[in-house]
Chain A
Amino acid sequence: MNLRRLVLIATPYLWLVVFFLVPFVIVFKIALSDYAISIPPYTPTLDLSAGWEGIKSFFGALDFENFTFLASDALYWKAYLSSLQIAAISTVITLLVGYPIAYGMAQASDEWRPTLMMLVILPFWTSFLIRVYSWIGILSNEGFLNQFLLWLGIIDTPLTILNTNAAVYVGIVYTYLPFMVLPIYSALEKLDGSLIEAAEDLGCSRAQAFWLITLPLSKPGVIAGCFLVFIPALGEFVIPSILGGSSTLMIGKVLFEEFFSNRDWPVASAVAVVLLLILIVPIILFQRNEQKQREANQ
């Protein structure tokens, strides 16, 4: 019927197929190929001019060698585990830092809240790279934090923070804090104030009312916030390479270096495929949480 409808659907559809789906197929394919010192640096390449034989030999040469390599080399699985650990720990810290901020915003008066909201969102619009960079001067040995602590007399030799995992935690908490604050805030903001009053009317103290009413009802926001921090933190590259040290193992960094320094494309692709497989679980859980909230809102 409808040429217009066809064009409307096909344009973004084809774009995404060509520039998003096909590239992933290529990543999978190269993950199954072998490293070669050539251009492109992997074999086999699909030789369509050889006809059916070419296709057959192409598929025959694909194997899972790279994946067995990943499993056998401690570097890789240590990098996955350490990424999971760093992402999990930073998520917990972000939650502990972010919840009081979101709670404070939700308790603030109506005329203050738009301003507070803008103050939380503003860092979103400033460069991620610059926000990470700003911590180098603070965390380095002669940086402001050490100067401050020395001045206070708490320490007498500078602490080494920069180029350690601690600096990576700081970087992740700092850059992803708004992702945690905003969903929690929006859950708390929806909360009906009369619930707290009812709880207090029924004999709860303020702290009990918070523990029994506010906290459980903000759970969807907390879950959403945690996933919004955890998922991108897992594949993070910029923060570990700027703030982390040589001992900081994160899979994003490993992939980047595997690709650019070692030029081992098949292994880099295999690293990417495994990372994707690991990410599927939290992504599905996140989607489910969102779905539940949507249904609850209806």
Chain B
Amino acid sequence: MNRRFSWFNATSLTLGFVFLYLPMIILIIFSFNSSKLVTVWAGFSTKWYGELLGNKAFLDAAWVTLKVAVLSSTLATVLGTMAAYVLVRAGRFAGRTLFSGMIYAPLVMPEVITGLAMLLLFISIGMDRGVSTIVLAHTTFTMCYVSVVVSSRLVTFDKSLEEAALDLGCTPFDAFRSVTLPIIAPAVISGWLLAFTLSLDDLVIASFAAGPSSTTLPMKIFSSVRLGVSPEINALSTLMIGIVTVGVITASLVSKRSIARQRAEEQAAARA
């Protein structure tokens, strides 16, 4: 693309990013508002954060959410990586089309349908709903995202590296563990992160899969949001946005630095 950055481009980018970020910035600012009235500024205060931390219902929900997210994303990463490996490497086997269909379908499936289907399954096999059913449901839909992320890395993975490992005496499993996995690790990690955030974020599927005693944070937020804007939710949102922003920026700085270091090393090698 020949780049001639014009005023039009600058304007559309500015407006676009204002549109994307202004709502969240307003939210953050008003989480420090001392008034209960969420649209009128009445001075700086952090009291809503204090109230939030004293709200046991929110803390319980946060704990359930975190537990579910860690468990389901870890399970989903294992299953999704296996599925990706099967899709890319296993060649032909009976029912391959069905398999890849089942991997891609959850990505385009409306959450209400996935959630409904899950719930009906749990009921027909007589499973008590709670943390474990949310974990199962989340694992199932997030493993598909993991396998898409990992398989797009595996496709570009040079197969001769695995063959070289076999040639040098590795068993297939050993070759996967000591050659393939370390190389595709960044994709596996981003798959895990994606599964983790999807699980943290999910409202609809969790609503179906959850029992009366297991409320997740999004469910809690949703039920209070239906009553309108509340400064406590603003404070909670600010915390969540803050954590994500710090996380994403750190991750990108780390990867940028490692790329820069790699470049420098390559240049040093070229000079040597």
Residues of A within 8 A of B (CB): 4-5, 8-9, 11-13, 15-17, 19-24, 26-27, 30, 40, 97-98, 100-101, 103-109, 114, 116, 118-123, 125-131, 133-138, 140, 142-144, 147, 174, 177, 181, 188-189, 191-194, 196-197, 231-232, 234-238, 241-242, 252, 255-256, 259-260, 265, 268-269, 272, 275-276, 279, 283, 286
Contacts and interface: CB of A to CB of B under 8 A. Distances in A.
B113 A235 contact: yes
Given A19-B121, A107-B4, A127-B241, 11 more contacts: A20-B102, A23-B118, A26-B117, A97-B19, A107-B9, A122-B245, A126-B245, A136-B228, A194-B2, A235-B111, A252-B110
B27 interface: yes
A119 B90 CA distance: 38
Interface of B: 1-6, 8-10, 12-13, 16-17, 19-21, 23-24, 26-27, 30, 38-39, 79-80, 82-83, 85-86, 90, 93, 95, 98-99, 102-103, 105-106, 108-113, 116-118, 120-121, 123-124, 136-137, 139-140, 143, 147, 172-173, 197, 200-201, 203-204, 207-208, 218, 221-222, 225-226, 228-229, 233, 237, 240-241, 244-245, 247-249, 252, 256
Nearest to A233: B110
12 contacts: A11-B79, A12-B80, A12-B99, A15-B140, A26-B121, A27-B117, A106-B3, A107-B9, A116-B13, A118-B249, A130-B24, A242-B222
A129 B113 contact: no
B225 A23 contact: no
A13 B2 contact: no
Given A11-B82, A107-B3, A127 B200 contact: yes
A177 B20 contact: yes
A174 B222 CA distance: 18
Given A19-B140, A129-B221, A104 B12 contact: yes
Nearest to A5: B90
Nearest to A130: B237
Contact of A108 (B3, B109, B137): B3
A19 B136 contact: yes
B106 A127 contact: no
B13 A129 contact: no
A123 B245 CA distance: 9
B178 to A, nearest CB: 16
Contacts, number: 243
B54 to A, nearest CB: 21
Nearest to A19: B140
B81 to A, nearest CB: 9
Given A142-B39, A234-B110, A189 B105 contact: no
A98 to B, nearest CB: 8
Nearest to B104: A287
Contacts of A114: 252, 256
Given A101-B13, A268-B116, A193 B2 contact: yes
A248 to B, nearest CB: 14
A90 B30 CA distance: 28
A134 B20 contact: no
Interface hub of A21, A127, A138, A193 (most chain B Cβ within 10 A) = A127
B86 A12 contact: yes
Contact of A126 (B30, B109, B140, B240): B240
Contact of B108 (A26, A103, A279): A279
B103 to A, nearest CB: 7
Contact of B112 (A30, A126, A252): A252
Nearest to B237: A130
B20 A235 contact: no
A125 B197 contact: yes
B218 A138 contact: no
Contact of B204 (A21, A121, A135, A237): A237
A123 B121 CA distance: 33
B240 A127 contact: yes
